[in-house]
Amino acid sequence: MNLVSRSKSHGGSQEVYSHASDRCGCDMTFAIYLPPQAEQGPVPVLWYLSGLTCSHANVMDKGEYRAYAALHGVAVVCPDTSPRGDAVPDEADNWQFGSGAGFYLDATSAPWRDHYQMYSYIRDELQTLVAENFPIDSSRQGIFGHSMGGHGALTMALKNPDLYRSCSAFAPIVQPTTADWSSSAFEKYLGDNPEAWADNDATLLVQTGARFPEFLIDQGEADGFLEDGLRPWLFETACKQADIPLTLRMQAGYDHSYFFISTFMGDHIAWHAERL
């Protein structure tokens, strides 16, 4: 693991590292913010999963999470959104697939399966790396994310309720198997296996028995992707039918940008901190 940068912020430390990933078959980069409380001992940790076209840097630069993380004494880990590198297959002219668009799943189709293993990379490999090298309390973990990353957070929580204690999302893609900007990626990554598709779809996971204690979702009403890509009402209906508590807050006037995310970042971190 190699230190890329370190900066003091709100009494804590914002750090970026790169490391060779066995799961993804390339070098991967992640950011971690350690609050000042980490100097005294292990702290809870929040995993933030970013959206399409992003890397670890977008939320680090524009998410405005550090003051809230320092206030509540939680670490924040920001992984990359996909494997990267000259040896990694990509579709350079397609922002909805390939580099920056790993969809937090484990690809099963060639050639993508050799590198696009984002689900097991985050849940297993990066999880172990962070636990072994930083003062975090692995028994107190939460996960959240935006858009594609919101999809990733919901599915990872539903499939790993013993690992994550809390889960929230900003404008998540709640049913990627049928959304315009994700179904084509699923076809390439997972082939025509309907079980694999359903296993990476939060709404379908709930409908087929997956459970999690509760969710918080914020969604901008002025989001241009709301009707075709996000459709939070599908997840809301599934949660109601499964008796899973969901707080869905439709925010008037807000779009899909980091102006929206940063506005409600403090609410989400405080919500997670109460549960961690």
Give me the residue label for tokens 């940063």: 262
Query: Residue 200 in contact with residue 118, Cβ under 8 Å?
Result: no
Cα–Cα dist 268/167, whole Å = 9
| Distance in angstroms (rounded) separating the CA atoms of residues 36 and 41 | 10
Instruction: Spell out the residues 6+ positions from residue 246 whose beta carbon is closer than 8 angstroms to its own.
Output: 214, 215, 216, 217, 235, 236, 239, 240
CA distance 270 to 154: 18
- Residues marked as catalytic: 147, 223, 256
Cα 214 to Cα 228: distance, rounded to the nearest angstrom: 25
